[in-house]
Structure 1
Amino acid sequence: MAVIGFGKFCRAAGLLLALAPLGGCALANVASEPPPSLYVLTAAAPVVPEGAAAAAAQVVVEPFTAPAAIDTTRIVFQPSPNEIKYYAGARWSDRAPRMIAALTVETLHRTGRFPAAIGAGSGARMDLALTGDIRQFAAMRSAAQGFGAATTEAHVVFFVRLLRASDRAIVASREFTATVPSASGKMTDIVAAYDAALGQVLAEIALWTLDEGAKAFPKRPS
């Protein structure tokens, strides 16, 4: 009996010794896994037409709604209209809708024509609310032309609504789109294409909000 027990002990000990290096390697791999690279986008600097009226309305920017696939920090790549993937090892610095809302506020400020533009949650009484839907915020493959190779393009599509804050009535609504090709398949170039496409859309939204806001709340003569 003692011999049998010792044999079982030896086999168990051998198994543990065999598994120990594997466990150590697995932990080493987890510990050495590189963190994802974080990317940020920048606010646009709209060119306000000379003589454009300043808005008397104060604007609150509410986070845009987005499908679950976009409402994330992961950077979307769509190899086809019916498939969604994410770039490995790359993330936005915040969830896409929150990042876009913050950049929209900054873009409105850069016009210099609004008495106030703030994000949601401040509790301040505002005149207009800017909200909408993120319909597309993805890198996609362009259709190859002739013998040319397909390139990667950043596609941004927002449907935006301007609401009267007092009763949530829609003052105006419009779709904004932009497509910008990436200089290469490198992540930095893809992010630059995202930045350019989003900047174009946000600049157009800011000027549109300024125009519609001035109509809804005309500035009184001094």
Structure 2
Amino acid sequence: MAVTLVLAAQLGALCACTLIGRGEPLNVYVLPAAALPVSSPRQLPLTLRVDTPQASRAIYGSRILVMPTTHRLSAYQGARWSDNAPALLRDRLVEAFRQDNRLAAVVNERDRVSADFELVSDLRAFHSEYVQGRPRAVIRLDVRLVDSGRQRIRAARRFEVGEPSADESVDAVVEAFGRAADDLSRQLVDWTLERIAAK
């Protein structure tokens, strides 16, 4: 019995080493974020909830997606986001609204608190694509601003941003995603506050 256990342990260790040896190095990336300007106007006594965007199975994941040719979606090898794409974007938007500071509170659906307004959305694109042989980070988001008290849509809009990458490396593509997310955040924050104020 002792010999059997020792052999089993040795075989297990050998298998583990083999699996580790064959696995490629995995680089995990966070979504870069620049500091957005803080607004100084009077703060509105309102709470906004930013829900996690809905997404297709292809987009809902941690792979960093690339569209090398039209209608073909692939992924960069050995690279992953630190979270699934919808959660990354949700957290970026929540942070943008909090930095903006024009609303009393900004939460997401996990906070389980009531909110005056709610942002619900569908993430239609979160990938890089090649334009004239150069990668470009693309984010496309369909957004609805919901008046929670009246249970009706106050406004709706599609946001689409794209940022060229400095080169074809994953690092450069990730930086382009960060700039695209910053651009989207600025546009969405301003649009949302304008629609909330337009009673």
Category of TM-score, reference length = shorter chain: 0.7 to 0.9
| Partner secondary structure for residue 56 of structure 1 | strand
User: What residue number does 1:147 align with?
Assistant: none
CA distance in 1, matches of 2:158, 2:34: 18
Cα deviation for residue 162 of structure 1 reads 0.5
The unaligned stretches of length 5 or more in structure 2 are 1-13
Q: With structure 2 as the length reference, what TM-score do the two structures score? A: 0.85
User: What residue number does 1:201 align with?
Assistant: 184
| Partner secondary structure for residue 58 of structure 1 | strand
Cα deviation for residue 166 of structure 1 reads 2.6
Residue number among 26, 29, 34 corresponding to 1:36 in the alignment: 26
User: What residue number does 2:152 align with?
Assistant: 169
Residue number among 108, 113, 131 corresponding to 2:120 in the alignment: 131
The amino acid of 1:36's aligned partner reads L
The unaligned stretches of length 5 or more in structure 1 are 1-23, 145-149, 217-222
Q: Answer yes or no: is the 8 Å Cα contact 1:39–1:90 preserved in 2.
A: yes
User: What residue number does 2:4 align with?
Assistant: none
Q: Answer yes or no: is the 8 Å Cα contact 1:44–1:200 preserved in 2.
A: no
The structure with the larger Rg is 1
Alignment size in residue pairs: 188
For the aligned residues, what is the CA RMSD? 2.4
CA distance in 2, matches of 1:78, 1:34: 22
| Partner secondary structure for residue 57 of structure 2 | coil
CA distance in 2, matches of 1:130, 1:42: 22
The amino acid of 1:99's aligned partner reads L
Q: Answer yes or no: is the 8 Å Cα contact 2:39–2:102 preserved in 1.
A: no
Q: Deviation per CA, 1:73-96: give whole Å up to 9, x if none.
A: 001101123111011100000011
Q: Answer yes or no: is the 8 Å Cα contact 1:154–1:190 preserved in 2.
A: yes
Tell me whether 1:64 sits opposite 2:47 in the alignment. no
The amino acid of 2:73's aligned partner reads I
CA distance in 1, matches of 2:118, 2:193: 12
CA distance in 1, matches of 2:69, 2:45: 44
Which stretch has the larger CA shift, 108-117 or 163-172?
163-172
* Superposition map of 1:70-149 within 5 A: 70-142=59-131, 144=132
Q: Answer yes or no: is the 8 Å Cα contact 1:58–1:117 preserved in 2.
A: yes
The amino acid of 1:112's aligned partner reads N
| Partner secondary structure for residue 60 of structure 1 | strand
TM superposition outliers: structure 1 runs of 4+ over 6 Å? none
Cα deviation for residue 44 of structure 1 reads 5.0
| Partner secondary structure for residue 126 of structure 2 | strand
Structure 1 pair 171/87, CA: closer, same or farther in 2 (3 Å)?
A: same
The amino acid of 2:53's aligned partner reads F
Structure 1 pair 44/60, CA: closer, same or farther in 2 (3 Å)?
A: farther
Q: With structure 1 as the length reference, what TM-score do the two structures score? A: 0.77
Q: Answer yes or no: is the 8 Å Cα contact 1:151–1:182 preserved in 2.
A: yes
Identity of aligned residues (%): 28
